[in-house]
Amino acid sequence: MTGILKIAYKLLVNDKGKFAALLIGITFSVFLMIQQTSMFAGMMRKASATVTNTGAKVWVMDRAVTSVASSIPMPDFMRDAARSMKGVKFAVPLYLGAGLARLQDGTYQGVSIIGLDDSSLFGRPELIEGNIEDIYAENGFVVVEDAESPKLENPKLGTTFEINDNRGVIVGIAKVPASGLFGIPTLYTTFSRAIQYIPSLRSTVSYILIEPTSVAAIPGIKIEINKLGYEALTEDEFIDRITNFYKYHTGMGTNILIMTVISFIVGLSISAQTFYTFVLENLDRFGALKAMGAKGRELVYMLLFQAGITALAGYGLGIGLCTILIAAARLRVPDYASVITFGNLALAFGMVLVIAAISSYIAVRRVLKIEPFDIFRS
């Protein structure tokens, strides 16, 4: 069989024009598919940044919450209720809000403020400068060093600013796995200081973070929380909810889906048309092979191999191209929201296989219909 496949390979790659057209078609298609989906994955990663950075196993929230930024404050008693539940190791409040920081030059900059539980600082980021205990100091804030932090005038330890006429001081510089979606700097402080600095409603707790005694305790906790009219989600469930919100309720997912489908159609059109032309041009030779004693299935293997080789090469080139583009974009935009995930790769691979299958199916049908007698008649 290897000899036949070698012939198939040579027939394909030696026809440089067609091979190049096939490769360009599939590469471009894969590039677009990966680019679109990785952009979406990157944005979703950023949209869920607070969830992943905090690392809580269970999040308690209002049932109407659709994304981490759209928290609906809960009354304080929920924290005590959660703490009293069976299977809860500890439960702490988390404040999430946005404010306007007045910088030293008098300009204003929107900031995202995360208030950590005063006693445990659960969910605190990893500090690269300063001590976390200093967050308890007067007006103490920790700034996340990311692509957005320069907007606070490149803050250092000791940099000051104002929020609602309250003084703030940077006491620590932190790094987090993912930065936020909205392009504003992130500040951490204590829960009590956060609600003191930011105007709040009567209820102040954005989320309650629960550490269960075991994974097996989570279903019971969810039932108990549900009885109180709220909802408990695991970290993965919360990320799914956020992703689904952007996917289905903002139009973003639909647009990405449409672009991905268009990319697929472009790739399929170019590939199927070129491959079919390639087969048509070699039809009499395939007929001659059949006359000489090649079996139909051997010709099918040849075509599938050719389609497979092209698909895999185009897939690899498409990924490479996309990676280069993302790397180049990050040189200019360090926080460029695009990330190639295994899911993106698998999706593109599946679509490329479909392109290869459809292209070769059309060609196979044509080749199997050739009668060796037609070769004599030609």
Partner 1 sequence: MNAIEARDLSKWFGEGETRTNAVQNVAFDAHFQEMLFIVGPSGSGKTTLLSMLSGILRPNQGTVKIKDQDIWSLSADKLADMRLHTVGFVFQDFHLFPKLTTVENVAVPLILKRRKWDEAIKEALQALEKVGIAQRAGLSPQKLSGGEQQRVAIARAIVSQPDILVLDEPTASLDGDTGRKIVEFVKRDILNAQRCIIIVTHDDRISEFADRMIKMEDGRVMEIEKGQGHA
Rounded Cα distance between 369 and 83, Å, is 73
Nearest distance, CB of residue 278 and partner 1, angstroms:
10
- Shortest gap between Cβ of 359 and partner 1 (angstroms)? 19
Q: CA–CA separation, 141 vs 361, rounded Å?
A: 63
Element spanning 209, H or E: strand 207-212
CA 146: distance to chain centroid? 18
Task: Say if residues 289 and 299 touch (Cβ distance below 8 Å).
Answer: yes
List phi, psi (to 5°) of 375.
-65, -40
| AA identity, residue 287 | G
What are the φ and ψ backbone dihedral angles of 336, each rounded to 5 degrees? -55, 125
Whose Cβ is closer to partner 1: residue 227's or residue 377's?
377
Q: Which is nearer to partner 1, 222 or 290 (CB)?
A: 290
- CB nearer to partner 1: give 11 or 259: 11
Min CB(11)–partner 1 separation in Å? 5
CA atoms within 13 A on the CB side of 7: 13
CB nearer to partner 1: pick between 197 and 301: 301
The residue among 298 and 335 lying less far from partner 1, judged by its C-beta, is 298
* Nearest CA-CA partner of 336 in 40, 42, 33, 36: 42
Q: State the burial class of residue 303 (Cβ atoms within 10 Å of its Cβ: 0-12, 13-18, 19+).
A: buried
Work out how close the CB of 5 gets to partner 1 at its nearest, in angstroms, rounded to a whole number: 10
Q: Which is nearer to partner 1, 291 or 312 (CB)?
A: 291
CB of 378 to partner 1, least distance (A): 6
Nearer to partner 1 by Cβ, of 199 and 293: the residue is 293
Closest approach of Cβ 317 to partner 1, in Å?
Answer: 22
Helices (H), the chain: 2-14, 16-47, 49-54, 77-83, 191-197, 218-227, 235-249, 252-281, 283-292, 296-332, 342-369, 372-377
Residue with smaller CB distance to partner 1, 33 or 299:
299
Q: Taking a C-beta distance cutoff of 8 angstroms, is the pair 68, 246 a contact?
A: no
User: Distances in Å between the alpha carbon of 28 and those of 1, 33, 202, 344, 358?
Assistant: 32, 9, 54, 15, 17
Query: CB of 276: closest distance to partner 1 in angstroms?
Result: 17
Nearer to partner 1, 19 or 188 (CB): 19
Least distance (Å) between residue 301 CB and partner 1: 12
The minimum distance between CB 294 and partner 1, in angstroms, equals 5
Distance CA(65)–CA(67), nearest Å, equals 6
- Quick one: tokens of 258? 């449409």
Residues that bind partner 1 (CB under 8 A): 1-4, 6-7, 10-11, 14-15, 282, 284-285, 287-295, 298, 371-373, 375-378
